[in-house]
Amino acid sequence: MLKQKGTISKIKGHIVEVEYYDDPPKRYDLYTVDGADGALMEVYASSSPTSVYCLALTPTNVYARGAEVVNTGKTLSLPVGKQLYGRAINVFGEPIDGKQDLDFTHHVSIFASNTNPQNIIVPSEILETGIKVLDFFTPLLKGGKIGLFGGAGVGKTVLLTEIIHNVSTQQGESHMSVFTGIGERSREGQELLESLESTGVLPQVALVFGEMSQNPAVRYRTGYAGVALAEYFRDIEQKNVLVFIDNMYRFAQAGYELGTLMSQIPSEGGYPPTLSSDMAELHERLYSTSENSVTTFETVYVPSDDITDPGVQAVLPYLDARVVLSRWIYQEGHFPAIDTLASNSSALNPDVIGAKHYECYLQAQKIVKEAVNLDKIASLIGEAELSKDNQKIYKRAKIIKNYMTQPFVTASGDNANKSTYVPLKNTIADIESILNGDHDQTPPETFKNILTLTDLSKK
């Protein structure tokens, strides 16, 4: 069979327009460029009856108008196997962690290959993370999806790293983690690798990166690469999979850049008209089956702290839990800086989390909410001028918020060998004790950065 050929007619940033000679190529087909070793383009969309837009996956400085291209008939694929355990690769399957080269015999396409979608199940079991504020206020379903929302520098990546450590440590070899770094800093990727290695969980994690310095086509396809690895571990290696994506907004941003280069008519906020379908295509592949679960944690950068941004809103329909990190809480010195009033979870149901947890959650959330209004009054006239009942509510809210702070193993070299995992049952018991007024006489400041109430005696 003769290979399909064509010529480059236009180059615009990382979008290359190719005019084909004979039959039109299929979407996702890869073109190579004659005379340019390693040059690779992916067919993305039609631009005219006889030409297509291609994503330039490699630098375009070796491309030229009029150059001949050849359709390989293949799609972008990743090497798979146990050699990926503890390794970091890019979207081409090349190692980027400075370790020895990888020798693989099996590859999978980064695009959907769902063979048994009838096997999908609805999650109903809680997955503990050992992080008090998450497990209590926004419990996560095993096999569900949780989004960590926040602006720049409020601790999204640090929180995600701690979740990887805690869940991987507790779940052991029954779970495999896939970390997908989309459009984040190379420094953060290096710090993540070092943190996972120092805490001993790196052998249970496979990492794929398309860092900020990469072109938008590579960043865009890195998201698909991470999902393809998750599908492989779920369906072929029969593992329960933990998928960590940092950052989902950068995936939308990469699509924004590519859409602009292809002169697509933008939708709301300047994003491409395919934003919703792109998000759906990625998220709907991350499902659990009756044999194995896929649990997804994804950070979402909130530009200018505006959660109504269309790129942020596009992620929300696919999440079972939403965790909002607040800059105001961060500046108060509460870590993790989670706004419990703005966060929510579909698991907050007595049939899922149990009657005791649900009742404690309702009481704690009510106190924290009432304290918001009392805080405005106290800032004007002083806490001593509040009524006795309001003083009690105000103080208990402070205790609850301080109790929900927690030291992280992955954020402190001094604690590298010390577990900071707190079982959910301990958190519920402690909150119940606080709600009952057992600690009304204890200064709220003493509750900061403790694991459980038993640590109060140490202070």
Contact 62, 33 (CB under 8 A): yes
Q: Shortest CA distance to 341 belongs to which of 323, 360, 316?
A: 323
Coil, strand or helix at 233: helix
* Catalytic residue check, 185: yes
Q: Shortest CA distance to 30 belongs to which of 95, 103, 91?
A: 91
Which candidate in 184, 188, 211, 231 is catalytic?
184
Q: Establish whether the linkage from the previous residue to 336 is cis, with ω within 30° of 0.
A: yes
| Cβ contacts of 202 within 8 Å, gap of 6 or more | 86, 193, 196
Which candidate in 185, 356, 366, 459 is catalytic?
185
335 residue type, one letter: F
* Catalytic residue check, 156: yes
Strand pairing report for 240-246 and 294-301: parallel
Per the rule left: phi > 0, alpha: psi between -120 and 50, beta: everything else, 157 is: alpha
Which candidate in 87, 142, 145, 156 is catalytic?
156
| Cβ contacts of 91 within 8 Å, gap of 6 or more | 57, 76, 78, 110, 208, 210, 218, 221, 222, 225
Q: Shortest CA distance to 215 belongs to which of 72, 41, 89?
A: 41
- Return the biggest CA–CA distance within the chain: 87
Q: For the chain, what percentages of helix, strand and coil (3-state, to nearest 5) are there?
A: 40, 20, 40
Q: Which residues are catalytic?
A: 156, 184-185
